[in-house]
Amino acid sequence: MSGCAAFILMLAVVGWLSTEKSSAQGGPKVVTPTGKPTKPAGPVINTPTAKPEDPYTKQNYPWHKNITATIFWVGETPTPKNPTPNHASSWDRYWQKSFGGFDDPNPTNRVSYRPISFIPKQNPFYIALPYNDVINHKAHKPEAKKVIPWFRRAMAKPGTTTCKGRWVQIVYGKKVCYAQWEDCGPFTTDDYEYVFLNKRPKNKENKGAGIDVSPAVRDYLGLKSGDKVHWRFIDFRRIRSRGPWSLHGTNNPFLDPKQDPDYDANIRYMNYLRKIRDDANRNGTNY
């Protein structure tokens, strides 16, 4: 096909799409012999107006080294050193119910990195970091879109967290563990400079603790409260190890791929690539 013919064909396709889109979105009404208008016919054409962020681009998240870790658990009651109860989380007011019960930290009441009394409904490998990206479940904090590496590709509605369920890699000694971000703390929820910009934690309590880890993480790594760990964010698709963090939970993408925090971004990007391919085929060009 000549360049001129291809250009004419492209204009024809664009014109057809514009006509279909206009009709589907409320174009000129069609009047029946009875004089009553009918609904516009034809499919709704949804075309991307901008290139979505490529979620497959490898992100090199920085390591946070020598960070004091403390232990917390679902259902934890307040204490003088930890005044915040953990029946709810920053993102789930019914966290204990969602989890399936009290995540008893007593080693004698645990088996295979979970409570003996029940099988958790959510991944027992969870952590808390001292940042919450939403305000009262209504809006994102003003700095969120600037400092959160995955914020743009998440395309979350206002007030919907982009942090819950994200994965972290934790190193203690020679052992490596993976866990999901499910709550905010210790002690503060606004320390984005530490969580995303690699500064030291601003919290001074409990030896400057910068990460809370669940009993499952504690037991797998063999650490105790106050020990130092290294941690970093990691995209789910980069996790190559199927350890005990892959066994339980309706929120666990090892069991349900749709729980991958980047699942929607992956779909959007693949649809974008398909549209480019289909447009190229229609226009007679190579893709």
Q: Given this model, what pLDDT does residue 97 score?
A: 97
pLDDT interval class at 280 (50, 70, 90): confident
The parent domain of residue 35 ranges over 1-46
pLDDT interval class at 287 (50, 70, 90): low
Q: Is the residue at 213 inside a domain?
A: yes
Quick one: residue 137, left, alpha or beta (phi over 0 = left, psi -120 to 50 = alpha)?
left
CB 138 within 8 A of CB 144: no
CA distances from 183 to 59, 85, 265 (A): 23, 12, 23
**Are both 32 and 159 inside the same structural domain?**
no
**Are both 40 and 138 inside the same structural domain?**
no
**Are both 68 and 118 inside the same structural domain?**
yes
What are the tens digits of pLDDT across the range 5-51? 433 333 333 343 344 334 434 444 444 444 555 554 444 444 445 68
β 175-184/126-129 pair status: parallel
**Are both 141 and 28 inside the same structural domain?**
no
Q: Given this model, what pLDDT does residue 81 score?
A: 67
Residues 149-161 have a mean pLDDT of 94
What CATH number is associated with residue 178? Answer: 2.40.40.10
Q: Given this model, what pLDDT does residue 66 score?
A: 98
pTM assigned to the model: 0.79
Q: Given this model, what pLDDT does residue 272 score?
A: 86
What are the tens digits of pLDDT across the range 165-212? 999 999 999 999 999 999 999 999 999 999 999 899 999 999 999 999
